[in-house]
Amino acid sequence: MIRITKEFKFEMAHALYGYDGLCKNIHGHSYRMWVTIKGNVLEKNNHTKNGMVIDFGELKKIINDCIVDKYDHSFVLNKNTPHFNIDFSAFEKVFFLPYQPTSENLVADFAKIIMNKIPKNITLHKVVLSETATSFAEWHSDDYR
């Protein structure tokens, strides 16, 4: 069993409704996300993916399609946030999530999304989501056995 990890970067803004600190205000982060999958190395000499768990390019496409491209340069809010009749129609990437958009909730949601998109012969092992250089949340498959 081998683990491989790919890093992703995207920009996203959020506000934490009901929070008692500065993050209740609209602000953005330069997110970094590391996705680690595990699986067996393909051992088929005549196969184009011989020696790989998954092609890094395939993993990149999966994650970009389901997370990075969707959330890059977006604004996310808890759907329970009062919107004060603000018209968001002028903006393309505003998402109202069914949870508070903290790193903890985002990483758990991203892990669920990724698990449903990766090939069945590999397993999602870990997702790390960093919103600053010193703060990150981690999701580990070992915690859900």
Residues with active-site annotation: 23, 73, 131
Closest by alpha carbon to 32, among 107, 96, 98? 107
CA–CA distance, 80 with 67 (Å, rounded to integer): 22
CA–CA distance, 81 with 77 (Å, rounded to integer): 7
Tokens of 51: 């020696």
Query: Phi/psi class of residue 8: alpha, beta or left (left: φ > 0; alpha: ψ in -120 to 50)?
Result: beta
- For residue 12, give Cα distances in angstroms to 2, 77, 134: 32, 11, 17
Q: Helix or strand or coil: residue 26?
A: coil
